[in-house]
Amino acid sequence: MADTQTVDTTQQATSQIPVTMPSQKNPKRVAAGKAIAEKRRLAREEQNKKIAEADAIMANERLRKAQEEARKAEAVVEPPVEPPVSAPAAETQTLTTTQWLSITSIIVSLAAIYFKREEIKGTFAKIKAPAKTPTKAPAKEPVLSAPKKSGIRPMD
Helix H or strand E segment including 94:
none
Quote the CA–CA distance of 122 and 128 in Å, as a whole number. Answer: 10
Q: Would you say 120 and 113 are in contact if contact means Cβ atoms under 8 Å apart?
A: yes
Quote the CA–CA distance of 108 and 119 in Å, as a whole number. Answer: 17
How confident is the model over 121-138, as a mean pLDDT?
A: 69
In this model, does residue 146 exceed pLDDT 80? no
Write the CB contacts of 103 (distance below 8 Å, at least 6 apart in sequence): 95
Angle at 77 between CA 74 and CA 81, to 5 degrees: 95
How do residues 65-117 score in pLDDT, each as one tens digit? Answer: 999 999 988 887 765 566 666 655 555 678 899 999 999 999 999 998 888 88
